Amino acid sequence: MQNVVIIDYGSGNLHSAAKAFESAARDSFTPSKIVVSPRPEDVLAADRIVLPGVGAYGDCKHGLERVAGLIPALEEAVRRKGRPFLGICVGMQLLSERGLEFVETPGLGWIKGEVRAIEPKDPALKIPHMGWNTLNVVSPHALLEGIPTGSNGWHAYFVHSFAMVPKERRVVVAETDYGGAITALVADGNIAGTQFHPEKSQKLGLKLIANFLGWKP
């Protein structure tokens, strides 16, 4: 039985995320204990770690900082011990070096790059980018195993006004199109992140979560 911690730092769809992870674990026959917790000791003891995030980049980063010992615990568990990690939405954006939402805010710096406002080439497209989009694979990855992609693939649910712009193309696993390419999924070693919400993405999301629960980076 593996321990999966979804970090509670005052941001994120914690209830829906926990339910989605429980459902994916059950359907994929992957024995997993899903825990929602703000405690650094739970992060250190976890086999897999999930960082959700909803709202502004700066607010989410400050939320992490307000929980004493949480960022050092993440650094220890993810960076040094190599535990599989999944960031969701702003939780994925925080992997960057900085966010440029309203004010410049330093991120965790685990992935080189920054988070910028979406600027669609088509002025008719509204911001925030909200709705269902397919994924275009840039680099094959275990998290997308068994998930149909491309124009006829399954759809993921997005809701965001800012997007990650990585410095290194190698970390981009998938993009979506919204008046131009938008980073949808990144991965580097044991670290991964989705701009879309897998907990709201129905069969695509449940399959990706199941893949994450069995992922051996």
The catalytic residue positions are 89, 197, 199
Quickly list H helices, 29-182: 40-45, 57-66, 70-74, 90-93
Number of C-beta neighbours around residue 90 at 10 A:
28
Buried b (16+ CB within 10 A) or exposed e, 27-42: ebebebebbbbbbbeb
CA proximity to 103, closest of 67, 52, 54, 56: 56
Q: How far apart are CA 200 and CA 69, in angstroms?
A: 30
DSSP β-ladder status, 113-117 and 98-99:
parallel
